[in-house]
Amino acid sequence: MSFRIPSEYIAHVYKRILAKSLYCCILKSAALSQRNATDKGKILLSTNEKKIAVSWKRTGNYDVEVTKSDEPHIPSDARYMYEILSKQGNLLTFVCRNLGNKLFKTWSATKGKDVSADLRYVKNVRSVNQTYFRTFGRISTNKQSANMVTLEGCTRRKGTSVADSIELDFRNVKHYSVFSGQIVAVEATNPVGDVLYVKEIFAKAYAPPACAPRIEANVNIFVAAGPFTASNNMHYQPLWDLMEKVASDEPHILVLVGPFLEYTHPEIQDGLVKDTHQELFEKTLTRIMESAKRSTQVVLVTSNRDAHHEPIFPTPQYTVFDKKLLQNYSNLKLMPDPCILDIFGLKIGVTSVDVIKHIGKEEISNISGMDRLSRLADHVLAQTCFYPVYPSSEDLNVDTELWEKYAFFDQQPHILILPSDMRCYCKVIHECVILNPERMHKNTYARLCVKPVFHGKWSSDNILCEIVKV
């Protein structure tokens, strides 16, 4: 026997289920809001071990000016996608030779009299010898093939289009950390001709540190990195929460690192944005400048991941077509990626590329008990390059000619900002403060207090750092 359920009963049950579901959503939303309210202002990380009193609100009338350092920066009219394969190879070889020769000199200086007078320095990585010799080249790693590591030389024999390469055997090395693109010097033997049995590896070619800054009073710097909105909307609420804090505290400098319009955002990919990408960017920028006080220098560092901008690295600075916006706000500074900011001699290096994550994907290491994030960040300093990975990650378009001109630094900055998807950190490595404020869509930002120099003595202790929930 069959029977029918009355439609009124079905409608009644459906309404009850819907009401219960809505009630659960409200409870979850309330709980989330309460948690966010609780986390607001929470300090996730602090380097202020001595508990020095720091005022994050501006005191006094000390104003600063942000400029580009003397290091070369990519111009706004730079051309790209004109690479010739042979020229690309020559540039990679040129970079390898320069850094390799520097490694040789630095290594010899650190060893001093301990270096045997009979130790040979050769540029041919396949040089056959049963006694130890030193050579240098570019590392290539292959994690899919039992963590195989090869060393590509920086010289080419006549009649060949590629440099020689040879496998490295690290069985006699206690600690090592290598990644694709890294320039290293090795001390090894090559008894047969097909494997370098490494005794020692050296990859520390640090740039000389920049001179002490000429800061006369405390300088507060806020740093945040994009994306600046959640993946399910384009409301930019985390950014506006930060701007409320900026308006309240009036830091001397606000550094915002792109992307502002992440090209992988669902609403951008699905074409749900009503304005053009450039119009949306300029509307966002206008609101940022309206929120910030005139006394705060607002620095925008570009990103190759912006939907409205050049998808190339190194990346020219943002283009703003609204001339009134540029005229009305003299405290707005547009910077390329990478860039080195100069504030009375304080050098701050910045890149938007997640170089720490990219190095981590390529790294093969045998180091126990060492902080991995410190090790990855140290590679950037040791290679004196904002992006030392080669070949680059699949989602990064690197122009080799622009990279060779604009991605290296001759002086080590006092602060290095390396935004990453990896957990936030602020570490002192080789007297450089390296900072990852994490992503703004996670409601985190960093604030730095740079103290003045007394009696010409400068150290990383002059910089205090906190990473905070906005």
For 408-438, the pLDDT digits (tens) are 999 999 999 999 999 999 999 999 999 999 9
Residues 189 and 216 occupy one common structural domain: no
Any domain includes 32: no
Distance CA 421, CA 441 (A): 11
CATH number for the domain spanning 227: value is: 3.60.21.60
Give per-residue pLDDT as tens, 1-26: 444 555 554 555 445 554 455 444 43
Any domain includes 8: no
- The arithmetic mean of pLDDT across residues 347-372, rounded, is 92
- Of 179, 202, 225, the last residue of a domain is 202
CATH number for the domain spanning 125: value is: 2.40.50
- pLDDT band at 31, cuts 50/70/90? very low
- The arithmetic mean of pLDDT across residues 205-211, rounded, is 94
Residues 160 and 286 occupy one common structural domain: no
Give per-residue pLDDT as tens, 215-238: 999 999 999 999 999 999 999 999
- pLDDT band at 29, cuts 50/70/90? very low
Distance CA 107, CA 103 (A): 6
- Of 144, 175, 202, the last residue of a domain is 202
- The arithmetic mean of pLDDT across residues 430-452, rounded, is 96
The predicted pLDDT at position 23 comes to 42
Residues 197 and 283 occupy one common structural domain: no
- Of 138, 171, 202, the last residue of a domain is 202
Distance CA 172, CA 414 (A): 36
- The arithmetic mean of pLDDT across residues 145-160, rounded, is 80
The predicted pLDDT at position 160 comes to 65
Residues 188 and 326 occupy one common structural domain: no
The predicted pLDDT at position 78 comes to 95
CA distances from 291 to 234, 247, 446 (A): 18, 6, 18
Strand order in the sheet with 415-417: 67-68, 339-343, 346-350, 415-417, 432-436, 425-429
Residues 110 and 238 occupy one common structural domain: no
Q: Which of 461, 451, 436 is nearest to 45 (CA)?
A: 436
The predicted pLDDT at position 33 comes to 44
Distance CA 337, CA 307 (A): 15
Structural domain boundaries enclosing 423: 42-68+208-469
Give per-residue pLDDT as tens, 320-346: 999 999 999 999 999 999 999 999 999
Q: Which of 96, 156, 113 is nearest to 385 (CA)?
A: 96
Half-sphere exposure of 283 (CA within 13 A, CB side): 12
The count of structural domains within the chain is 2
